[in-house]
């Protein structure tokens, strides 16, 4: 199966470099490039790609608004960002982004990230992602109130959401909760369904904004 990709960035050199890297992969095809959010939305609607690699800050329409416009479309959005743009991370996740990459990402990491989100997973494995989210939440201040629906979670689902917020994998969550990975998958599915979340990436935001995870607070494991 070929992964169809659209690359959107207002910097032509960055856009071209990313497109060239991805297009040389045997299992990928870059079907279009875009210089702003409006072009990105149009390209997705025209070509129906599997993954949209999207710069978070662009003229005319930024990556966050473009992601909002694509709500309901099956395309998976992989955001490009820098450490100086931490404040946009939470909004991008709310809009439906499935993960983030720094613009100075290595070739192998870019290729792997596209494969991960194309497979329906969220890109939360790199520790930088959780750190960016925590920084963004910390800057925005304490949560305004509980995330709608958290009161419907079972105690085990709430614990799962807390561990998701810390960026733990299913294997790590299973070890922390002393259950099987299959049970963890069931809990994760319940969390996403009850809170109306698209994927684990949005679950991280929900964990912080519901107060289950507090920025700067040590993880349950003490790490």
CA distance 83 to 81: 7
CA 72 to chain centroid, in Å, comes to: 16
Tens digits of residue pLDDT in 83-134: 555 567 777 877 888 888 888 889 999 999 999 889 877 665 445 556 656 6
CA distance 18 to 124: 20
What pLDDT score was predicted for residue 107? 93
Position with higher pLDDT, 72 vs 38:
38
CA distance 94 to 75: 15
**CB-CB contact of 165 with 153 (8 Å):** no
Place of tokens 């710069």: 55
User: Mind listing the domains of the chain with CATH numbers?
Assistant: 3-139 (3.40.50.2300), 142-209 (1.10.10.10)
CA distance 184 to 170: 6
- Reported pTM: 0.72
What integer best gives the mean pLDDT of the chain? 84
Position with higher pLDDT, 197 vs 8:
8
């Amino acid at each position: 199966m070929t992964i169809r990709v659209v690359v959107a960035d207002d910097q032509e050199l960055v856009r071209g470099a990313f497109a060239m890297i991805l297009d040389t992969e045997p299992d990928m095809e870059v079907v279009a490039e875009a210089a702003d959010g409006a072009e990105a939305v149009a390209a997705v609607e025209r070509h129906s790609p599997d993954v949209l690699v999207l710069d978070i800050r662009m003229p005319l329409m930024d990556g966050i608004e473009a992601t909002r416009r694509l709500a309901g479309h099956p395309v998976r959005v992989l955001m490009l960002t820098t450490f100086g743009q931490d404040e946009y991370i939470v909004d991008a996740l709310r809009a439906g982004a499935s993960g983030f990459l720094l613009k100075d990402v290595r070739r192998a990491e870019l290729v792997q990230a596209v494969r991960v989100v194309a497979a329906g997973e969220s890109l939360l494995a790199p520790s930088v992602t959780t750190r960016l989210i925590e920084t963004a939440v910390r800057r925005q201040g304490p949560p305004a109130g509980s995330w709608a629906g958290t009161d419907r979670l079972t105690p085990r689902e709430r614990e799962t959401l807390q561990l998701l917020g810390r960026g733990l994998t299913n294997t790590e969550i299973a070890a922390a909760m002393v259950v099987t990975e299959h049970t963890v998958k069931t809990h994760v599915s319940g969390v996403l369904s009850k809170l109306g979340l698209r994927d684990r990436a949005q679950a991280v935001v929900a964990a912080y904004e519901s107060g289950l995870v507090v920025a700067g607070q040590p993880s349950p494991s003490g790490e």
